[in-house]
Amino acid sequence: MKPIRYPGLFAVLCVALLAGCAEERAATRPEPAAAQTSARQAVAEPTEPKAILMRMAEFLANAPRFSVNLRDNYDAVQASGQKIEFGERRKIIVSRPNGLRVESEHSDGDKHLVLYDGKDITVFTPSQNVYAQAAKPGGIDEAVMYFLRDLHMRLPLAMLLTSRLPAELERRTQALDYVERTTIDGTPAHHLAGRTETVDYQVWISEGAQPLPLRIVLTYKNAEGLPQFRAQFADWNFSPEIQDAQFVFTPPEGAQKIAFLAQLPQLSLRGTTPSEPTGGQQ
């Protein structure tokens, strides 16, 4: 039997991502007082977990453009209860207010492309030479929420791409701890641990002038088997060379346009028969 690759849980994992800081706790592994004093003197930046988290969120939300590479891994719980790990690589380009490009390659080699140009959301699967498209003017924030909630499509950690990130963090987090000061691939970082109603999360945020997420781990505490999603960030670039054409989809020769699965009821009511549906499990 082929392992279940994308359970429905992961179709909306980014909506539950991180979230607001309504409560703070004492550090789970506090540093000695001397070490804390030395760190405060060496780095002129927040030391409280909420301030560190919100500084990261506001930095990303206010960045006019950026690109980043991700390596994701996630657990898919099988009917037997066994957890199977799958993964993907992604390259993300954001150009506010209207440009979004997400290139992904799954661990089985299958590739996908998500584009937004301020007017249309497009999902393209090269291996099948098919694409689905939906009109959604209004900007990246509106397009991302429509993609997740109305089209029921999958875009892990999508809130990191929107200007809504600080508000979402402020609204959803129920508890937040400072775990430790550590390093990720040689970069000094703050390790934070938070809790929402449905997700426990950990985030490693770089020290310095650019408070960037370097690693994120989500644990779905109410799901059977407590599956996790893990993401490692690399090659952050806040001055990427960007052209508008990178966000516009031009169908390749022979490409077939299909419908998003969520659009099928509307198409049926209008008497339109789509050639083939696509769904939230890219």
- pLDDT confidence of residue 270: 52
Rounded Cα distance between 11 and 8, Å, is 5
Task: Take residue 149 and report the two structure tokens written for it.
Answer: 């909630």
Pairing of strands 213-220, 111-116: unpaired
Rounded Cα distance between 153 and 133, Å, is 12
- pLDDT confidence of residue 12: 34
Task: Take residue 37 and report the two structure tokens written for it.
Answer: 């004093």
* Residue type at 169 in one-letter notation: L
In sequence order, what DSSP letters do the residues of 62-85 get, joined into one string? H-SEEEEEEEEEEEEE-TTS-EEE
Rounded Cα distance between 86 and 9, Å, is 14
Task: Take residue 51 and report the two structure tokens written for it.
Answer: 């301030």
Rounded Cα distance between 119 and 248, Å, is 10
- pLDDT confidence of residue 4: 66
128: CB partners within 8 A, 6+ apart: none
* 3-state DSSP assignment of residue 254: coil
DSSP 223: S
Helices marked H in the chain: 33-42, 49-62, 140-145, 165-172, 264-269
Q: For the chain, how many residues are written? A: 282
Count CB atoms within 10 A of the CB of residue 182: 12
Rounded Cα distance between 130 and 254, Å, is 9
Q: One digit per residue, pLDDT tens: the chain, 282 residues?
A: 556 664 443 333 333 443 333 333 333 444 444 444 444 444 468 889 999 999 999 999 999 999 999 999 999 999 999 999 999 999 999 999 999 999 999 999 999 999 999 999 999 999 999 999 999 999 999 999 999 999 999 899 999 999 999 999 999 999 999 999 999 999 999 999 999 999 999 999 999 999 999 999 999 999 999 999 999 999 999 999 999 999 999 999 999 999 998 877 654 445 554 555 554 433
In sequence order, what DSSP letters do the residues of 164-211 get, joined into one string? THHHHHHHH--EEEEEEEEEETTEEEEEEEEE-SSEEEEEEEE-SSS-
Pairing of strands 228-237, 187-195: unpaired
Rounded Cα distance between 257 and 249, Å, is 12
Rounded Cα distance between 246 and 8, Å, is 30
